Amino acid sequence: MPPKKPEAPKQPPIIGRFGTSLKIGIVGLPNVGKSTFFNVLTKSLAAAENFPFCTIDPNESRVPVPDERYDFLCQYHKPLSKVPAFLNVTDIAGLVKGAHEGQGLGNAFLSHIGACDGIFHMTRAFDDEDIIHVEGNVDPVRDIEIIHEELRLKDVEMIAPVLDKLEKTAVRGNDKKLKPEYDIMLKVKNWVEEEKKHIRFYPEWNEKEIDVLNKYLFLTSKPMIYLVNLSEKDYIRKKNKWLVKIKEWVDAHDPARWSSL
């Protein structure tokens, strides 16, 4: 008998949804450049004006995902039709401090994030007296912290009814099948509410815990890519006073980041 092939190494479990129609939301404070970035990325013409909440209803479009392997296969096989992988991109209205309590239509905007599989976190690192900043001055590190805190507080709010329902069935109703899920949700609640951390920051979720997290898809479990909006001058010279501070904050606070500067 031929020797058995070695088993492929088991991939670690990952929080999130997998599929062929994934959606990423552009998130940030008002007037940081979300709609402009959306227009450039998707070649769209969404309104991008110099006042908060120019965007109310989310703008949506899809873009093909660059893939050299796909390009090679198309050139080699010359198929009659070509269907690349697409990413659905959503331009979500700006969040403000207190969004989890409904400030600035925050509950509606946060629900739009809930419908996404990942987050482009846009922050502004350029000064311009003609472009309003809702906090009164430019401080991208503070702005990142505001968005992080609003996402966390919304998850605290979302976890409460889930735990209440599980307590009724798993604890008071003595449903042994749901007891493990209840215990996992208690752990999630402690991490998010008491430790004040994002779900994706926890380094050792096991497979069963991730199965439960994927059932609810909380906001702070979504993968995040940080985008920094620079002035044209700073971009050309590749220098900006905020870049080092932003990188230091991301490196210190977001060990689960997809990408940093």
What's the longest Cα–Cα distance across the chain? 77
Region 31-44: mean pLDDT is: 88
Task: Determine whether domain 23-253 maps to CATH 1.10.150.300.
Answer: yes
Question: DSSP code of 3?
Answer: P
For residue 238, give the amino acid letter: K
pLDDT at 198 over 60: yes
Q: What is the average pLDDT across 106-132?
A: 86
Nearest in space to 197 (alpha carbons), one of 123, 140, 259, 253: 253
How far apart, in Å, are the Cα atoms of 45 and each of 31, 87, 96, 236?
A: 16, 18, 24, 25
pTM recorded for the entire structure: 0.84
The model's pLDDT over 3-23, given as tens digits with 9 standing for 90+, comes to 666 666 666 678 887 777 789
113 Cβ partners below 8 Å, 6+ apart? 25, 27, 92, 119, 151, 219, 222
Rounded Cα distance, 32 and 58, in Å: 16
Residue 223 parent element (H or E): none
